[in-house]
Amino acid sequence: MNAPSRYELFVLDEGEKAVEITDDTKIPNAATVKILKQDHTLGNMIRAQLLANPTVLFAGYKVPHPLHPYFLIKIQTDGTTTPTDVLQQACTKLIGTLSTLEAKFKREFSFKDAESGGGGMGGMATGAGMGTGDDPYGGGGAGGGAQGWGGGRDYLDF
Amino acid sequence: MIGSVVERSTGSGTHSAPRNGGSGKTGFPSVQHRSKSAFARGREELKRKGTDRPTEVPIVKPSQAIGQGGGEGNVTGKVPPQPASEEDWRRQIDEENKKRVESMTDEEREQERQDILEKFGSGVGDILRKAREARERKSRETEATPEAGPSSTIGLAPKVSDPIAPSSENTPEGGAVEDSLSAVKAALQRAPLELRHPRAVHSILSPVSPSTPRSALSRPNTRPSSRADRRLRFADVTPQDVYVYESAPPSPKKRPLALLAPTDADQSGGDIVSLGQWKPRTPLQASTIPVPDQEMVDTEVDTNPPSEDPEEGTPEDIRRRFFPGVAPHDPSLEWIESSAEVDPASLPSTSSNALRFDLTGTPIPPELSSTLPTHLGLHHHAEGSHAGYTLDDIFLLSRSTVPAQRASMLGLLARIARKLGKGRRAAHRDEGIKELFGQETELRKRIVASGAEAIGERGSVGAMAVEIFWECIVGWDDNLADIEGVEFSESLSEGSEGPVTSDALPSLPLDYLLPQISDAIGLAALPSAFLSQLVDILHRLAQNSNDMAESILGTADLIPNIIRTFIATPLPPSESSPLPNPSAIQLLTTLALASRSNASALLEPADVLLRFIATSPSSSPFPHPLATSLLASSLEFYAVLASYGLYSHIVTTAWEPFARMSVFIQSSECKSSRLIQAWASLLEAWMVCAADPHETTPSHDILWSQVVGWAWATEVSGLQSRSIELSVHGGSERRNWEVWASLWRAEAAFLEGARLNGVRGGEEERLAAVGTLKDRFNDGFEGQVLLGSLQSFNTALHQQTSYVDWDVDIHQLKTLASLGTTIASALRLWLACTPPSSNGPLTSPPFPLPFALLADMSAEIAKHPIWSAIYGENAPPYAHLYCRPLATLLLCYLRVSRRMPATGQDLWLAQAFTVLQRLLPGDEAGGRRVLKEVAKLITPEFFRSRSWNIPPVIWDKGGMDIILPFLLHSIAPSEKDHIGPFWATPRSISQVSTQRLPSASAIRSRKGSLYGLPLSPDWCLSPLDHLLRSGSSPVFKKLPSSWDASETEVARVTLLFTRVVREVLIRQRLLQFSMNREETIFGCMKVFMLEHEQPQNDSSEEVFRDVIVTAFMNDLLDPFTLSASSPIPIQSNLEAVAVRFLGPSTPFFQYYTDFIALYDSISFSHPLFAALLLPPLSMRYALDYRKHFWGDFSHVLKTVRIPVDRAITGDVREYLWPIESDSQVIGSYLGAVLKGSLQGFVRWIAIHHLACNIWPDLRGNHEGEERAVKLLRAVGDQGDIQTVREVVFYQQVSEGPALIPPHCFEADVDSRKVREEWVGRVEGDLAKVLTLLRS
């Protein structure tokens, strides 16, 4: 009833900034970064990436409240770079890693397509046949199945 | 099982013929089974006996006898018709008849003849003659025996068997009949044995019967004949016919044996009196019973051929007799053997089911239970062959509907309960039932339950139920009866791990029982002994717990009934009327002790007790000891009421009787020290009430002016002089000292009251008292009392005890308590004499005390092991009651010590911190006072004088004042429930809700944390607990508005105070009172956990980042790190320490996961924070901690950069041994090491466990070879050179101090060789490792 709208979990409000960086007043080379409209998915990745950096002395994050869509990440470096820089580096690296991952994934997938040849195509066609309609779960079961089989026959006819 | 009934065959012997005793041994007709109709039976009888008749027919023949002896037919008519000895009796009868005929006159003979002829007709003479001829012929033929005389008159014999039917019916029978009969007769004579048994007759004769001349007899089965067979005959029973058989277990026949014969040793002891030789009462030897005929015995022997026949009643006998055609041990006949063949040895003799009790509750040995005779009354249960009752039998029969049976079984249960209760205690172990050791409490519950069912019954059943209750409740632990002031009930442990409560009392259905008891007392339905048992039971129940006491009081009419029956007895007593019972007053006292509400409810009946005060024991109508006891009990009851500030007006209302009583007590007539003590205690209690009239309920009940007016001070001194007289006259020393204690307290109470109410602080009274006291304590009697008790106390204190056998130790404790009370009372008197103006050291003491002795003694009391022993698992639930005087003594001494010039501040503080941990529930007020004084001492000057460098910022918000409310609360957490102090004070009398301590187990489990005392060693950290739970903390709700300290400030002062406590204690070498390692660790964890779920983002707001807080925490933890000079051994367990704060429902593991998560998110690798992560990772703790830290939070490992020497541990080996064996954790070690991010202590630990899992010389065993190879290969392949080197050259010793880095990375030559050899043996590419090893 009073559950927050789902979009609030990932859509920034008016005037909100996605990232706020506060340098710690007490600890040298330390900062607390508040990242809005994000959750453990990003927090954990960034934390892990930061810890891989030898100049980072400490990196940790917390999600203060499960219903508040933001997390805090605390970074301390050894002084050779600023926490902002290491966070930027970490994010860049993370993007790079993820792009590589995506590229690799796509390439592998296309390899798979190529290897299986026409069968793969047929499979795709079947899949398309299965996936008709907007229903993400494959529609009313029997109907979807029938269509799928229909697609199969198309392939045989082909 | 009943032995087979042997029917005496009707004609079994010639001798029996005249007696006609044929129908049975006893003269009664033999028993016939009635499953058949009378008609059918008649038929059968006839069938059986049909053979008899024809045997007699021939006898009818001689007709010539008619004339002579016909008249005698009726006389001999009852001759049994058995043919076996026909000739004998015939001869006998012949002779008799002859004699008779000869003795007759002629007229008589003529008369007889006429009669016969008239009856039978004229032809009868011929018939008889024929019969006679036939007989003579027959006897000539068969036996050639001389025939009886011709005048034989047996011809009338047929009448015997058929008196109704005319004998003429038989007369036509001729020679044919005779022939066949003789054949039968011959057959019968051939088989005389079988004939003796009716069944045998039947079975043998039946094949013959078709040839018997039944048809010739032409006997239709008509009524007359059957009637003839069934004729009732009554034997002339002579004493010889009566056989009394011993009642004995029928099968197998055994001789009865009641007891084992005494051994020679017993007899030589002389305390066994022989009652004579026991003679078995078999029928043959019973002297009072006629011995049966010798012939009878002979025939019995005859019937049982001795060589073959088994004993009667045995299965073999049954088989032979009833199943002759079946082979022995035929499976189909198993049933005849089964019941008789129960072997007592085969029963499980140890189990309680096999245990059988006789009627006195003594177990019967199994080998005896099968042999005891039945007449002892031990066989009335389902399993018939064993004597005695099992517990189940008893419980079953105790629900019997037959009141007598039920009562006797309940009585038996009561006796068993008594034995169980005794055997439970080690000293009486041999009196118990050893088969049931360990089951006492469970059985007690069952026994009590069966008593509870019967308590409502009238008569003996009800009385026996009372007996059961008495045994199970009062008699079970009879040491408890005199113990007042503590609850016994064990608190139910909340976790399931604790033993289920061993107490049977909470399970009692009090709602049901108490009204029944009330009725029983009200109606006086039971004998007075049972009624006073009921009072004892109620008393024990009231002792058990305050709840029970309240429910006793809440039972309608119970108290009025008790008072009517036991207290308000007729006055003056008549001979038949009962006397008052002091234990009923004792019951009222106990009830009043339990709670203030109880005491208020008892105010009304309190008036009744005045009757015992109004008449002094010397003029009382009751016996003198009883009157004294009643008076003392009443005074004690009033003293208890006064301890709540109740009922003190009675002394005003009834002053005159009290004054008379006081005169009596001071007179030489009173010799009871108990009375003096009771009166002195009552005076003390009333003076406490009078000290502040606003504290009594209702207020102004008694006024100080009255106390002065009644001159109670002189009263007390009068008692003192009387007590000196009594002491001189003897009596127990200890008892006299207790009396002195109460007198000193009364005097002290007067001086304390005068201090509040007197002119100028009661200076005048004090000076007067001091004037006499100096002499009295210097060289007077009282000085001797104090010295004597001090010396005895020291002796008792130095007794070596282990606190295992509490039966013995409790006596030491009792001695300590009694003597401690005396010493403490003297100290109280001393304190009451000190001037109130100053609080500091005195220039001179009011009167001298042996101060040095007291100082040593109190130090020893505080360090005595008793304080931890009383909370031990096997300690009695009331042991701590006896520590109360000791705690009070310590408190008094602390106050004395404060007034002494020789006591330095440090010493006094150390004493205070020691005593605070020794206080018990009820000492809250004293504890609070001590704490406030301590807080006053800890000031900036305190540190300056010791040149401790303390940042001045601490004192900004008030220093100790910030945390004092929390500390005070930790001493007395409960607002409502006040346990009365050992000695009432003007403040306590209005506040206390109960005068009884909770039981030891309740204190141990801190149920509901009602009791702050006794304090745990980490009590000084308690403000942190309140900070952590600031939302629910009751202290925060009532803090004054001026209190505005921040979390950081509270934490600073708390940590500082904790440091002060520790420093002071360590300087006075009182290490056992300071916090141990685990308590310190957990306390510091709490400081970090203050940030748990806190919203702030900036580290400057975090408490643990505060420089002062960090410094204090480092100071606290320094002595416990590896680098500390003197390692402190491991004493405790974090999990156990944490329970006190977390409660039983939150495990420490949960707290630890939160702690790691907090570290992970906000710590910025705070070094102390990181160091605190490590202690639960030692191998002492569960695997889960290591899995959580090394596995789930492996990413934080990089930030834990603790040098080895900063690790918090007393002995680093707890991290090293035993070697980790869980492969998941080893995998985590490997992963962390290979990543190369580990540093310091954690790296060492990981390398240690890896190397120890790889190298055979460290592994010790030959398992895990495969894993070792894998690990080594992984290290060799992926590790950098530093890691590989450390792993390869790692060495460690399991004995002695551990090698710490870098020494542990220098394996010696021998182990290198071993490892090189091993590496060479295993497969795989380990060139890198080999090279290293060979270098």
Domains and CATH numbers, chain A: 15-113 (3.30.1360.10)
Q: Name chain B contacts of A60, Cβ cutoff 8 Å.
A: 1159-1163, 1196, 1199
| pLDDT for the residue B220 | 45
Residue in B1093, B1099, B1161 closest to A27 by CB: B1099
B1162 has a chain A CB within 8 A of its CB: yes
CA distances from B728 to B724, B725, B733 (A): 6, 5, 10
Contacts of residue B1141, defined as CB under 8 A and 6 or more positions apart, other chains included, come to B1025, B1082, B1086
Does any CB of chain A come closer than 8 Å to the CB of residue B1153? no
Mutation target vs A (from B1093, B1094, B1161; most A CBs, 10 A cutoff): B1161
| Beta strand residue intervals within B86-242, DSSP E | none
CA B438 to chain centre: 8
Q: Which residues of B1279-1311 are buried (b: 16+ CB within 10 A; e: fewer)?
A: beeebbebbbbbbbeeeeebbebeebbebeeeb
Give CA–CA dist B978/B972, Å, rounded: 9
> In angstroms, how far is CA B1029 from the centroid of its own chain?
42
Nearest to B297 by CA among B5, B15, B80, B29: B15
Question: In this structure, are residues B195 and B201 in contact, taking their beta carbons and an 8 Å threshold?
Answer: yes
Which parts of B527-608 fold into alpha helices (H)? 528-544, 546-554, 558-562, 582-594, 596-601, 603-606
Residue B131 near residue B155 (C-beta atoms within 8 A):
yes
- The whole-number pLDDT of residue A117 equals 57
Spatial CB neighbours of B562, under 8 Å, sequence gap ≥ 6: B521, B535, B538, B584, B587, B588
Mutate to test the interface with A, among B1153, B1156, B1164, B1169 (most CBs of A within 10 A): B1164
Asked if A30 and B1097 come within 8 Å (Cβ–Cβ), the reply is no
In this complex, is the C-beta atom of B1105 within 8 Å of any C-beta atom belonging to chain A? Answer: yes
CA–CA dist B515, B495 (Å, integer):
35
Give me the pLDDT at residue A106, please: 93
Identify the pLDDT of residue A140.
Answer: 41
Query: Which residues, 6+ apart, have CB-to-CB distance to B1094 below 8 Å?
Result: B1101, B1102
**C-alpha–C-alpha distance, residues B1207 and B1173, integer Å:** 10
What is the DSSP-derived secondary structure letter of residue B567?
A: I
Closest to B946 (Cα-Cα) out of B1068, B1056, B1052, B1060: B1060
N- to C-terminal Cα separation, chain B? 96
CA torsion angle for B625, B628, B631, B632 (degrees, to 10)? -110
Give the CA-trace dihedral at B552, B557, B560, B562, to 10 degrees: -60
> Across the strands, what pairs with B364?
B356
How far apart are the C-alpha atoms of B395 and B449, rounded to whole Å?
A: 10
Q: Which residues of B touch A24 (CB under 8 A)?
A: 1098-1100, 1164
Three-class SS state of B389: strand
Q: What is the pLDDT of residue A99?
A: 95
Strand, coil or helix: B636: helix
CA–CA separation, B722 and B725 (whole Å):
5
* Position A12, amino acid: L
Query: Which segments within B552-692 are labelled E, that is strand?
Result: none
**Does the N-terminal peptide bond of residue B1023 adopt cis geometry, omega within 30 degrees of 0?**
no
Taking the mean position of all CA atoms in its chain, how far away is CA B880?
21
Min distance A56 CA to chain B CA atoms (Å) = 9
pTM tops 0.90 = no
Identify the three-state secondary structure at position A5. coil
Which residues from B are below 8 Å from A74, CB to CB?
Answer: 1161-1162, 1164
Distance (Å, whole) CA B314 – CA B319? 9
Q: Could you tell me where the DSSP H helices lie in B280-365?
A: 294-303, 315-322, 335-338
Give the distance from CA B802 to its chain's centroid. Answer: 24
Chain A's closest residue to B1097, CA to CA, is: A32
- Nearest CA to B197 out of B89, B43, B48, B28 is that of B48
Chain A residues with CB under 8 Å of B1159 CB are: 60
Residue B808 is which amino acid? V
Decide if A25 and B1098 are in contact by the 8 Å CB cutoff.
Answer: yes
The kind and range of the H/E element at A71 are: strand A70-77
**Backbone φ and ψ of B219, nearest 5°:** -95, 100
Question: Is residue B1137 within 8 Å of residue B1080, measured between CB atoms?
Answer: no
Amino acid at B965: P
Shortest CA distance from A43: residue in chain B? B1161
- B870: CB partners within 8 A, 6+ apart: B879, B880, B883, B1000
**Binary contact (B1161, A60; C-beta < 8 A):** yes
Separation in Å, CA of B1251 to nearest CA in chain A:
26
| CA dist B1306 → A25, B1004, B1236, B1289 (Å) | 45, 51, 20, 5
Q: How far is CA B1328 from the centre of its chain?
A: 71
Chain A CB contacts of B1161 under 8 Å are 60-62, 72, 74
pLDDT value at position B229?
54
Q: Tokens 């950290």 — which residue?
A: B1021
Q: Can you tell me whether residue A22 is helix, strand or coil?
A: strand
Preceding peptide of B224 cis, ω within 30°: no
| Of residues B1098, B1163, B1165, nearest to A22 (C-beta) | B1098
Task: Calculate how close chain A gets to B1152, using CA atoms only, in Å.
Answer: 17
Closest-CA distance, B1166 to chain A, in angstroms, reads: 10
The dihedral of CA B269, B271, B273, B274: what is its sign? negative
- CA angle, residues B953, B958, B960, in degrees to nearest 5: 100
pLDDT of residue B889: 93
Residues of chain B short of pLDDT 50, as ranges, are 1, 12-22, 24, 51-81, 83, 145-177, 184, 188, 191-228, 248-250, 252-254, 256, 278-306, 340-352, 493-501, 1008
CB contact under 8 A, A57 and B1157: no
**Nearest by CB: A62 against B1099, B1105, B1162:** B1162
C-alpha distance from residue B634 to each of B640, B658, B687, B701, B899 (Å): 10, 12, 18, 19, 39
How far does the CA of residue B1239 sit from the closest CA of chain A (Å)? 12
Q: Which of A19, A74, A77, A78 to mutate to test the interface with B (most CBs of B within 10 A)?
A: A74
Q: Letter for the amino acid at A100?
A: T
Is B1164's CB within 8 Å of A58's CB?
yes
Place of tokens 């405790």: B1132
Decide if A60 and B1099 are in contact by the 8 Å CB cutoff: no
DSSP state of B697: B
CA distance A48 to A97: 13
A113, pLDDT greater than 70: yes
CB of B630 within 8 A of CB of B580?
A: yes
Kindly identify which residue of chain B lies nearest to residue A54, measuring between CA atoms: B1237
Cα-based angle B697, B700, B701 (whole degrees, multiple of 5): 65
Cis-peptide, bond into residue B305, ω within 30° of zero: no
ipTM rounded to 2 decimals? 0.71
How near does any CA of chain A get to the CA of B1165, in Å? 6
Tell me, yes or no, if B1199 comes closer than 8 A to chain A by beta carbon. yes
Structure token pair of residue B636: 């004690």
pLDDT on residue B1321: 78
**Residue B1078 CB contacts under 8 Å (≥ 6 apart), including other chains:** B1131, B1132, B1133, B1134, B1136, B1137, B1175
Instruction: Report whether A23 contacts B1164 (CB < 8 A).
Output: no
Whether the CB-CB separation of B504 and B472 falls below 8 Å is answered with yes
CB of B1131 less than 8 A from some CB of A: no
**A24 and B1161 in contact by Cβ < 8 A?**
no
A68: pLDDT strictly greater than 90? no
Q: How distant is the Cα of B1171 from the closest Cα of chain A, in angstroms?
A: 15
- Nearest C-alpha of chain B: how many angstroms from A6? 24
What residues are paired with A20 via a beta bridge?
A34
Instruction: Check residue A138 and give left, alpha or beta (phi > 0: left; psi -120 to 50: alpha).
Output: left
> Phi and psi for B466 in degrees, rounded to 5?
-60, -40
Determine whether the interchain pair A22/B1162 forms a contact, defined as Cβ–Cβ distance below 8 Å. Answer: no
Chain A CB contacts of B1100 below 8 Å: 24-26
> Which residues 1055-1094 on chain B approach chain A with CB closer than 8 angstroms?
1093
Which candidate from A34, A47, A60 shows the least CB-CB separation from B1162?
Answer: A60
* Size of the A and B interface in Cβ pairs below 8 Å: 54
